[in-house]
């Protein structure tokens, strides 16, 4: 599945800088001279200190934000507007609270114009794939956090995204549920062929899931280092954390990440009023 570094990349950020004017009129540069690419079918995790510019990077890929300078390309063409080939999963569940599970999962195909019966059949299949058979008529408030996340995954994968952007999708879940969801994500992704950018604060999660881990500097974000993860697939995250190779890679990347986290922490401490 992984085609890291081969062929035309799915995503390219070329010397991208993105600045904002803050509410008090200051110019804030969130990312600077940022260059990275994601191969077709590659799973890339992005880690960096809090507030360094990870979400800004994702919004540039979506086309929701434009670079101040530099260029963002998808499959070799400049990003222009929202691209239907992109799917998103965020920390907050993007499920419709007033719709049942099956209606949530079928929403994408229905919006795309698929006839109701076909959309429902497809949704039924995805509900089954994410282990929610029997819960089709439940509403989001009747589900656990993990189940709602499964709905969000089905809702996204049903549209066959070529690019999947994930912004701390599992961070609100308890630790055990998170590990199961990570395993489920890998199973769904491995048959999808999607190119993934997965933003997380959790280094173990990044290494367990990804083909490559990109470490960002404390803001303004730029790419500090990129690590290939040589762990074989298929992977089972619930077992992987005790693998000596996994522990070794974690130590190496943490050495790099720690110094950036320290810079970020010291800045936030200095910024705190006495």
Ligand X SMILES: Nc1ncnc2c1ncn2[C@@H]1O[C@H](COP(=O)(O)OP(=O)(O)OP(=O)(O)O)[C@@H](O)[C@H]1O
Q: Note the residues at the interface with ligand X (CB under 6 A).
A: 20, 22, 28, 30, 48, 50-56, 219
Report the largest interatomic distance among the alpha carbons of the chain, rounded to a whole angstrom. 62
Residue 211 Cβ vs ligand X, minimum distance, rounded to whole Å: 21
> Which residue's CB is nearer to ligand X, number 16 or number 240?
16
φ, ψ at 16 (rounded to 5°): -85, 135
Residue 55 Cβ vs ligand X, minimum distance, rounded to whole Å: 3
Residue 105 Cβ vs ligand X, minimum distance, rounded to whole Å: 27
> Which residue's CB is nearer to ligand X, number 2 or number 17?
17
> Which residue's CB is nearer to ligand X, number 22 or number 117?
22
Residue 38 Cβ vs ligand X, minimum distance, rounded to whole Å: 17
243 with 229: CB under 8 angstroms?
A: no
Distance of CA 169 to CAs 82, 126, 130, 213, 217, Å?
Answer: 20, 19, 16, 17, 22
> Which residue's CB is nearer to ligand X, number 180 or number 254?
254
In sequence order, which residues have a C-beta less than 8 Å from that of residue 9 and are 6 or more positions away?
Answer: 37, 38, 39, 40, 73, 75, 76
Residue 29 Cβ vs ligand X, minimum distance, rounded to whole Å: 8
> Which residue's CB is nearer to ligand X, number 20 or number 111?
20
> Which residue's CB is nearer to ligand X, number 21 or number 274?
21
Strands 223-228, 212-216: pairing is antiparallel
> Which residue's CB is nearer to ligand X, number 116 or number 258?
258
> Which residue's CB is nearer to ligand X, number 52 or number 188?
52
Residue 201 Cβ vs ligand X, minimum distance, rounded to whole Å: 6
Residue 271 Cβ vs ligand X, minimum distance, rounded to whole Å: 11
Residue 56 Cβ vs ligand X, minimum distance, rounded to whole Å: 3
């Amino acid at each position: 599945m992984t085609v890291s570094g081969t062929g035309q990349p799915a995503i390219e950020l070329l010397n991208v800088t993105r600045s904002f004017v803050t509410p008090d009129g200051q110019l804030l540069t969130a990312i600077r001279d940022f260059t990275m690419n994601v191969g077709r079918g590659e799973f890339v995790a992005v880690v960096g200190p809090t507030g360094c510019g990870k979400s800004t990077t994702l919004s540039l890929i979506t086309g929701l934000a434009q670079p101040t300078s530099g260029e963002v390309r998808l499959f070799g063409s400049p990003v222009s507007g929202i691209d239907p080939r992109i799917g998103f999963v965020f920390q907050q569940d993007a499920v419709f609270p007033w719709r049942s599970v099956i209606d949530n999962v079928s929403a994408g195909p229905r919006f795309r114009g698929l006839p109701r019966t076909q959309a429902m059949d497809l949704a039924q299949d995805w509900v089954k794939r994410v282990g929610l058979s029997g819960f089709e008529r439940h509403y989001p408030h009747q589900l656990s956090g993990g189940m709602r996340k499964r709905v969000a995954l089905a809702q996204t994968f049903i549209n066959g995204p070529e690019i999947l952007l994930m912004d701390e999708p599992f961070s609100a879940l308890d630790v055990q549920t998170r590990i199961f969801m990570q395993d489920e994500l890998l199973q769904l992704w491995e048959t999808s062929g999607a190119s993934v950018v997965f933003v997380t604060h959790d280094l173990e999660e990044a290494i367990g899931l990804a083909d490559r881990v990109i470490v960002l500097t404390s803001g303004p974000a730029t790419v500090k280092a990129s690590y290939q993860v040589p762990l074989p697939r298929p992977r089972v995250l619930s077992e992987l954390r005790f693998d000596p190779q996994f522990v070794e890679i974690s130590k190496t990347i943490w050495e790099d990440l720690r110094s950036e986290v320290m810079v970020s922490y010291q800045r936030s401490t200095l910024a705190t009023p006495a």
